[in-house]
Structure 1
């Protein structure tokens, strides 16, 4: 707000151009955040987190390998759940601080998914499916079925982690661009 005082001591109030620019920039940030449809990205991250956690349950009955020992499906699934929940919260609270928080957690989820991809790949290579050894009832032995289930579940979890890595990386890049375009107005709100 700009005040001007005339020589006859009348005061006139005019709107300040800087305040108008700040308000316009904040509205543009809110519109760009809403345009990105955060709900769909947040819901996809939450669903992938739940899928990874629920699909990893059969690994507990199979041969225990490094993936189960380190708890890869559980900490990666929980990180995806948290990143998705923060994206859903950001849909309601659209400020530059929520953009920064969502960007940080989404980038962390992307890094965690890359680590999970590496651990799943190494575990699949180290623990291949065993060969079928027929027992007297002309079926394969239990080790064959156990390693087959383990390999197939880890392959599914590897694929889901790849999908999560792509979603998290793309979303973190989008949020990074939004944060940079509105960085000058960080301390104004």
Structure 2
């Protein structure tokens, strides 16, 4: 802390060079967070979650498999929507608490999406597309079309879940890189005054 004493013995606390550096570092961290654009990423996570839930609705009426019985599209979609909402909140209110919540939710979302990818892959391997059995009129039976539709829906769900895995993992990595610097410097800037004061 730098101190200046004038001729009338009044003491003035000047800006400390370390405080200025720490304040600049906090601004740099805020700008780094803005480069990640959590709001845009959050909106994309919410849209992917809604798409997964909406694409899974026909699976309840067509062909009941492990994906439906385990509720994979529902819990994975809700996890993605939650991660998106927390990322949007992080964009509006960048505090240590929202930052930690966003990091935890995105890590959980990444883990759940990896689990969902495994379940989709196993389910698609276990339930292949049925072969076409011709009816009297020459068209295939309903089982062929039902399994073909469910396989197409599961392929779409798998693709959306892979996209969500990439988005959540990227945001988690970005937030984790900022974790140490933000936590270290924010505690110092709260303890030290940023503006000079005069003591009489």
Query: Quick check: TM above 0.5?
Result: yes
- Contact 1:96-1:179 at 8 Å conserved across structures: no
1:108 is matched with which residue?
A: 108
User: Which ranges of structure 1 fall in alignment gaps of 5 or more residues?
Assistant: none
CA distance in 2, matches of 1:65, 1:13: 71
- Residue 93 (structure 1) shift: 0.8
Quick check: 1:30–1:95 contact (8 Å CA) kept in 2?
no
Q: Quick one: distance in 2 between partners of 1:163 and 1:178?
A: 23
**CA RMSD of superposed structures (Å):** 1.8
1:164 aligns with 2:164: yes
Between the aligned partners of 1:186 and 1:96, the Cα distance in structure 2 is 9
Q: Per the alignment, in what secondary structure is the counterpart of residue 187 of structure 1? A: helix
**1:15 aligns to what?**
15
The residue that corresponds to 2:126 in the other structure is 126
String of CA shifts for 1:1-35, please: whole Å, max 9, x gaps. 65555796322221233432332222112111112
Determine which structure has greater relative contact order: mean sequence separation of CA pairs < 8 Å that are 6+ residues apart, divided by chain length: 2
Alpha-carbon separation, structure 1, partners of 2:41 and 2:53: 19
Partner of 1:61: 61
- Provide the residue aligned with 2:174 in structure 1: 174
Residues 144 and 171 (structure 1 numbering): CA distance in 2 closer, same or farther, change over 3 Å?
same
Partner SS, residue 67 of structure 1:
helix
Residue 52 of structure 1: how far off its partner (Å): 0.4
Output the CA distance in 1 between the equivalents of 2:102 and 2:124: 32
Alignment size in residue pairs = 189
Query: Any runs of at least 4 consecutive aligned residues in structure 1 with deviations exceeding 4 A, and if so which?
Result: 1-8
Q: Given the two structures, how large is their TM-score scaled by the length of structure 1?
A: 0.91
Mind listing any 5+ residue stretches in structure 2 that lack a counterpart?
191-200
Q: What pairs up with 1:30-69 in 2 under 5 angstroms?
A: 30-69=30-69
- Distance in 2 separating the partners of 1:101 and 1:185: 19
Q: What is residue 24 of structure 1 aligned with on the other side?
A: 24
